[in-house]
Structure 1
Amino acid sequence: MSTTQGTLSGKLALVAWIIFHPLAAGANDLQMPTGDVVLSVTGNIAATNDGNAAIFDEDMLRALGETTFETTTIWTDGVQSFTGVSLKDLLDELGVDNGTLEARALNDYAVEIPVSDAVDGGPIVAYARNNNAMSIRDKGPLWIVYPYDSNDDYASETIYSRSIWQLDRIDVQD
């Protein structure tokens, strides 16, 4: 094989790789929501579906896997059951493994949550409490909830301050 043929076949292989390789072809892009958007994530994320943002409806969040736990909170009476997507699973889907999350509520209230909080058995982005969707009046539609009763480290003012309700957007910062 001549050098020209080798170079040409190498270029063709590169073009084929770019066209057919899942990452190069945009496999990290998310599907588009079909229902009402409940969460928008921007910033340092690898997967998007709306320009530089990742937008989710509730069904898309549910498709990432459901986590349910029971815990007491300082804002509710008695043991409550919360269901949602684990923060870890959400961030894994978006290709986030470090930095800080600026989580914002519908009223623009904001908190900072280190990505290091997103661990197995850690916080969830809850969309249901006691098997019911949460209305805006009832801290919904989304609430970042930690399993406060399962780990003494979660029963602290720092963690309580990160437990934002009426969540509608997150910006991932370095």
Structure 2
Amino acid sequence: MQAVAVLGLWLSLAALPARAGDILLTFTLPDRIESFDHDALAGLPVAEFETSTIWTEGMQRFRGVRMVDLLAHLGVTDGQLQLTAANDYSIEIDVESFRPDGAILAYERNGAPMTLRSKGPLWLVYPYDSSPEFRSEVIYSNSIWQLDRMALK
């Protein structure tokens, strides 16, 4: 019975958007750790696009920060990034693979913050409809959701 209550609590919390000041992303660098809440991410150059995805129905509007802008803000120019989701799923991506017309670290979808249940708090998304280059197995596997941690390797 207690396990059912804990599961119910977790599911209800997963449906809630982050509160003001909640840390959405922890970025570990060799010499420091940077933490970002919604306001800190939204304070970086904003990028938006509309695209369809293989995981959702219809067109989706994403708002976030381009990965190239986030990496420039942190002074990261090369290396390997480890991106980790809330459930500890993890991928690695070369820093050099990010392009100015490519991936954004989305913190909003269709005008609303994303919850864990809706693939948030952050989702690395690409403008899939803009080019065949963004519709490959590699890009789809890089499109990690429920993202909450990054580390430069």
Q: Considering the TM-score relative to the shorter chain, is it more than 0.5? A: yes
Q: Contact (CA 8 Å) 1:117, 1:123: kept in 2 or not?
A: no
Tell me what 2:27 maps to. 41
Q: Deviations over 1:98-118 (max 9, x none)?
A: 111100000100011111232
Q: Which amino acid aligns with 2:116?
A: I
Q: Which one of 86, 90, 93 corresponds to residue 106 of structure 1? A: 86
Which is bigger in relative contact order (C-alpha 8 A, separation at least 6)?
A: 2
2:71 is aligned, of 76, 79, 91, to: 91
Structure 2 stretches of 5 or more lacking a match? 1-19
The structural deviation recorded for 1:56 is 0.5
Query: How many aligned positions are there?
Result: 134
Q: Give 1 or 2: higher strand fraction.
A: 2
Partner of residue 21, structure 1? none
Match of 2:50 among 66, 70, 75: 70
Percentage identity across paired residues of the two chains: 50
Q: CA deviation at 1:123?
A: 0.3
Cα distance in 2, alignment partners of residues 117 and 78 from structure 1: 27
1:53 maps onto 2:39 in alignment: no
Please identify the structure whose Cα radius of gyration is greater.
1
Across the aligned residues of Structure 1 and Structure 2, the Cα RMSD in angstroms comes to 1.2
Within 5 Å, give how 1:131-150 maps onto structure 2. Answer: 131-150=111-130
Q: Give me the TM-score of the superposition, normalised by structure 1.
A: 0.74
